């Protein structure tokens, strides 16, 4: 544990120093020449954004909102690319995806530097963040930007590895996705940090699940749980129960799978972090345990949540679940209705 403690202290010092620099920058804003101020802010903000990866969701959100608030008070904010970046992130937290994308597109980046890479990463990440198949043109664009990041030794190279890992996963290429996940983890400046490790274990579980590798699923989840307990991360710990539910489903202990899925779902509900996947996973646990009525209820909730918060996201898997649930009840009229709705919407 000594190394972990030392690293955490180093991280705290880094964040405090960065926040101090920004505070100082705000205070001396009126005295700086515009060109000097813009260069300093760009350099400091890129470093901060990399460090933000190590924060919890709540801490991350607080800083995004703080910087948006500070930058919005600047009379020259419209010409500051980081005003548009933080405004875009804030809008994304508020689930205003189209408005968020428009803000990223307003980021002015004349040179092919880290700011340019940040702008295009933000646009691409937003563009593919709906779970659908990523088109070839976007894949080529990502590869070109990754090459630029690698050649320029950008501080954001790890983000492009992460982006390509996500895109390949959505394109059903789990093997290539896993390759980029490994590159992401090794390239991240804070690879040693518990939050980064936790994300790595979560993604490793997801990839093992896609490959139907029970042993790797269990190994990744065990590591994730041990780390969550050691750093007292309740959300990460709750997530391991959902992972474990998937493992029990595959080994035939369906009652146990339902129990574990409910633990995770109730935690998300209590902390106001519910999402369509959580509804869908719980519904799937119910249908596998021969509880079609409960499954139908939660599949409907998943569809309603998705339509409200991520209207462009595919919902076929939820409709397919409803079809199976109605068929299990012998209600083929409702199963057909769900099938028609799925076809019409998708």
Q: What pLDDT digit, counting tens, does each position of 93-140 carry?
A: 998 989 999 999 999 998 999 999 999 999 999 999 877 889 999 999
Question: How many Cβ atoms from other residues are within 10 Å of residue 197's Cβ?
Answer: 19
CA distance 29 to 32: 6
Write out the DSSP string of 31-47: GS-HHHHHHHHHHHHHH
CA distance 12 to 94: 28
pTM of the model: 0.76
pLDDT tens per residue across span 208-244: 998 889 999 999 999 999 999 998 888 899 999 999 9
Contact 187, 157 (CB under 8 A): yes
At 15, is the pLDDT very low, low, confident or very high (cuts 50, 70, 90)?
A: low
| Structural domains in the chain plus CATH codes | 8-108 (no CATH), 129-190 (no CATH), 193-273 (no CATH), 275-346 (1.25.40.10)
CA distance 173 to 178: 9
Highest mean pLDDT (candidates 13-17, 57-61, 252-256): 252-256
């Amino acid at each position: 544990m000594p190394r972990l403690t030392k690293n955490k202290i180093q991280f705290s010092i880094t964040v405090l120093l960065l926040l101090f620099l920004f505070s100082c920058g705000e205070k001396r804003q009126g005295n700086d020449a515009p060109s000097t101020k813009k260069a300093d802010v760009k350099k400091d903000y890129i470093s901060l954004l990399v460090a933000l990866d190590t924060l919890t969701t709540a801490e991350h959100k607080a800083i995004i909102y703080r910087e948006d608030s500070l930058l919005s008070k600047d009379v020259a904010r419209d010409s500051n690319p980081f005003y548009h970046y933080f405004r875009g992130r804030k809008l994304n937290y508020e689930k205003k995806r189209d408005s968020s994308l428009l803000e990223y597109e307003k980021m002015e980046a004349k040179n092919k530097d880290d700011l340019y890479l940040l702008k295009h990463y933000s646009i691409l990440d937003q563009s593919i963040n709906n779970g659908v198949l990523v088109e070839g043109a976007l894949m080529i664009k990502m590869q070109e930007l990754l090459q630029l990041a690698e050649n320029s030794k950008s501080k954001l190279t790890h983000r492009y590895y992460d982006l390509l890992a996500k895109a390949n996963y959505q394109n059903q290429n789990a093997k290539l996705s896993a390759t980029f996940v490994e590159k992401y983890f090794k390239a991240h400046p804070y690879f040693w940090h518990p939050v980064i490790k936790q994300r790595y274990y979560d993604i490793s579980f997801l990839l093992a699940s896609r490959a139907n590798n029970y042993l790797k699923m269990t190994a990744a989840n065990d590591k994730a749980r041990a780390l969550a307990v050691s750093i007292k991360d309740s959300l990460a710990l709750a997530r391991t129960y959902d992972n474990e539910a998937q493992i029990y489903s595959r080994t035939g202990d369906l009652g146990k799978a339902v129990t574990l899925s409910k633990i995770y779902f109730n935690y998300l509900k209590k902390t106001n972090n519910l999402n369509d996947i959580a509804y869908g996973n719980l519904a799937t646990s119910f249908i596998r345990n021969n509880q079609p009525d409960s499954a139908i209820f939660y599949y409907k909730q998943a569809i309603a949540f998705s339509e409200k918060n991520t209207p462009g996201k595919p919902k076929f898997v939820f409709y397919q679940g409803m079809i199976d649930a109605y068929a299990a009840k012998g209600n083929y009229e409702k199963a057909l209705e769900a099938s028609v709705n799925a076809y019409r919407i998708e």
